[in-house]
């Protein structure tokens, strides 16, 4: 587990991280609460004494943030393949500037979205298929793959209502993906569930139809298990995607 008696980090787990790092990703449909839970996990791990690099996609770098504005806010039509290539262009810079250096320093990297979202949004929901996404993923991500992916799972209608209320409170426009409507969000949810069935050890479904504190507690438990068995694994960024 992540902690020993008294809630302190296990020393052997922390020693192991020094040379290998740990890569944790958050995924889920818009409105599932993943961004808030991502921030809570980062704060929790830092309180325990771990060095954590928090980041997000699309974004995480100056280049990535510019791509984010195109992908999420652009009113222009973007083909599914254009979306995919833009995501991976930003991801290449993200890996080079942020993720790989942090893992090499032995840090825990926690990112709000990574490559699973491309397999789900563009590969599954947009219909491009896994083969096209996998070709880009192998070229750009290569061995830099998540050790643990937490998918916040929530009914699509509930999530979409949450997302739209959030944008209304901010006085901002809904993103291109929220604007796709309920049927698209349902496809995205099915895509994430398929990813979890295919790789249940890495991709963990976290039911998000509960109070935030309960969701947070389950995330801490799952991450704690991951850190507890870290020494039995081959090191962050060394695994290849199987799909």
How is residue 125 written in tokens?
């929901």
State the residue for tokens 């262009």. 89
Q: Which domains does the chain have, with CATH numbers?
A: 5-232 (3.40.50.300)
d(CA 3, CA 99): 25
Compute the half-sphere exposure of residue 110: CA atoms within 13 Å on the CB side of its CA: 22
* For range 29-43, the mean pLDDT: 96
Q: Which residues pair with 93 in a beta bridge?
A: none
Q: What is the pTM of this model?
A: 0.85
| Band of residue 167 on the pLDDT scale cut at 50, 70, 90 | low
Q: What is the pLDDT of residue 223?
A: 96
128 contact partners, CB below 8 Å, separation of at least 6: 80, 81, 84, 122
Q: Which residues of 162-199 are buried (b: 16+ CB within 10 A; e: fewer)?
A: bbeeebeeeeeebbbbbebeeebbbbbbebbebbbeeb
Closest residue by Cα to residue 107 from 3, 20, 185:
20
Q: What is the pLDDT of residue 14?
A: 57
């Amino acid at each position: 587990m992540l902690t020993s008696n008294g809630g302190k980090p296990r020393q052997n787990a922390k020693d192991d991280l020094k040379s290998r790092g740990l890569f944790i990703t958050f995924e889920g449909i818009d409105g599932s609460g993943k961004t808030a839970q991502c921030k809570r996990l980062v704060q929790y791990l830092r309180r325990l004494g771990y060095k954590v690099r928090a980041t997000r996609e699309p974004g995480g770098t100056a280049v990535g943030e510019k791509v984010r504005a195109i992908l999420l806010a652009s009113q222009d039509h973007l083909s599914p393949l254009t979306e995919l290539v833009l995501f991976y262009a930003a991801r290449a810079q993200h890996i080079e500037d942020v993720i790989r250096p942090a893992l090499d320093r032995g840090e825990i990297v926690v990112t709000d979205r990574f490559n699973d979202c491309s397999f789900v949004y563009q590969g599954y929901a947009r219909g491009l298929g896994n083969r096209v996404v996998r070709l880009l993923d192998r070229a750009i991500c290569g061995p830099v793959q998540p050790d643990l992916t937490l998918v916040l799972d929530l009914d699509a209608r509930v999530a979409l209502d949450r997302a739209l209320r959030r944008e209304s409170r901010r006085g901002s426009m809904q993103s291109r993906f929220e604007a796709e409507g309920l049927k698209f969000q349902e496809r995205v949810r099915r895509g994430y569930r398929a990813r979890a069935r295919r790789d249940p050890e890495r991709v963990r479904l976290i039911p998000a139809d509960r109070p935030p504190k309960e969701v947070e507690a389950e995330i801490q438990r799952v991450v704690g298990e991951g850190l507890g068995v870290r020494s039995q694994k081959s090191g962050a960024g060394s695994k290849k995607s199987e799909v």
